[in-house]
Amino acid sequence: MVDGLVSIITPCYNGERFIAETIESVLGQTYANWEMIVVDDGSRDNTAQVAAGYAARDGRIQVVRQPNGGTASARNNAMRRAKGRYIALLDADDVWERDFLERQLAFMKEKNATCVCCSYRHIDANSNEISSGIHSNNQGVSGSEDKNKVGFNYPYVGN
């Protein structure tokens, strides 16, 4: 485990449409001590190739390919490879604000928390805000393959 390092876990299945924007949101972070592990879960599109292009340009990004086993399998695969003191989950169709990691880590230290959640904004495929809120009912965001993306904002400690 590397202290201060954030391991960003990104499972991906047929995410070619959004994976570049997701990776760009990580590359733009104000907190730069991270590694990103993108697990291509047997995609039938060019997801792995798009992610590999980013990995070739930035050594903090690695791409792992596996036969389709589902999101949990892909996340577990990435977590076994993670070297960071912190784990951050980022789906392949989601994006982060530029200071997301910096704020999350500062908030964790301020509150002496081992786990934090965050607020979110639903955004459409063109990054226009649809709605915002906080997951308070432990239900995930779901939708079709053409679903809305989620942009993550500010940390909070849930009850």
Yes or no: say if 62 and 39 are a contact pair by the CB < 8 Å rule. no
pLDDT score at 125: 73
Q: What is the mean pLDDT of residues 124-143?
A: 52
| The one-letter amino acid at 39 | V
For residue 146, pLDDT over 90 is answered with no
Give the phi and the psi of residue 103 in degrees, each rounded to 5.
-70, -40
Q: What is the mean pLDDT of residues 137-154?
A: 38
Closest CA relative to residue 76, chosen from 126, 102, 66, 114: 66
Q: Which two tokens stand for residue 71?
A: 């999101």
| The one-letter amino acid at 128 | N
- CATH class of this structure's domain 2-156: alpha beta
Yes or no: say if 124 and 146 are a contact pair by the CB < 8 Å rule. no
Let me know if 55 is exposed, middle or buried by CB neighbors in 10 A (0-12, 13-18, 19+): middle
Please list the helix, strand and coil fractions of the chain in percent, rounded to the nearest 5, in that order.
25, 35, 40
pLDDT score at 147: 39
Q: What is the mean pLDDT of residues 78-92?
A: 95
Can you name the residues that pair with 38 across neighbouring β-strands?
Answer: 10, 63
Please state whether the predicted TM-score (pTM) of the whole model is above 0.95. Answer: no
Least confident of 42-46, 100-104, 124-128: 124-128
Q: What is the pLDDT of residues 7-40, one digit of tens each?
A: 999 999 999 999 999 999 999 999 999 999 999 9
Can you name the residues that pair with 13 across neighbouring β-strands?
Answer: none
Closest CA relative to residue 90, chosen from 78, 80, 102: 78
